[in-house]
Structure 1
């Protein structure tokens, strides 16, 4: 019995719940919610393999109204979070500063595009300078 509990604890420690959201009409699906969570942390791509993700759905009556509700949770393997510095036990996983606004990212992209265009439009000089 103790061995079984130890195994369950080890399996639970292997996964970290990153999202828990009520499944309401019009709400984005769990994958979109996960992408939003990653975007808040500065990651604009899906860094996880399919085996590193676990989506759960729970249904039950609401305690206040008695209406049936659904909640989904997204869990990620702890090792995958550690590699990205997103594990809650890592000191770097806490967001300390707010994410820069969208205009800031757009200005950076314009600046990079201008630099690329300006270096391409220069004729080659003798001596490679």
Structure 2
């Protein structure tokens, strides 16, 4: 099962990097979202997959011999989900605002575009 998840993680990372190297903002945002999911799956797989094992030790069992689920990857994944969602929301608002001002989602055109509404402040003191 870990081998299948490892291949899937590689595909996610490759797709995310491919999308983030695009020159369109929508593709870059999708790449960031896929990259966050790839990191979450990587943390999940690195925490050892043990099916149907509870995260608690039953009464009367020896602590060294009992097999339990590792709660650390689960806590890291929950934290990573919150961080990646807030980062994605920030990038979404930032790109929408840039699209409103510059009327394009092409990064190459954004470099030469100027905001249409505002004039440059006067220079000179």
Q: Please classify the TM superposition score into its range, dividing by the shorter chain length.
A: under 0.3
Structure with more of its chain in helix, by fraction: 2
Structure with bigger strand share is 1
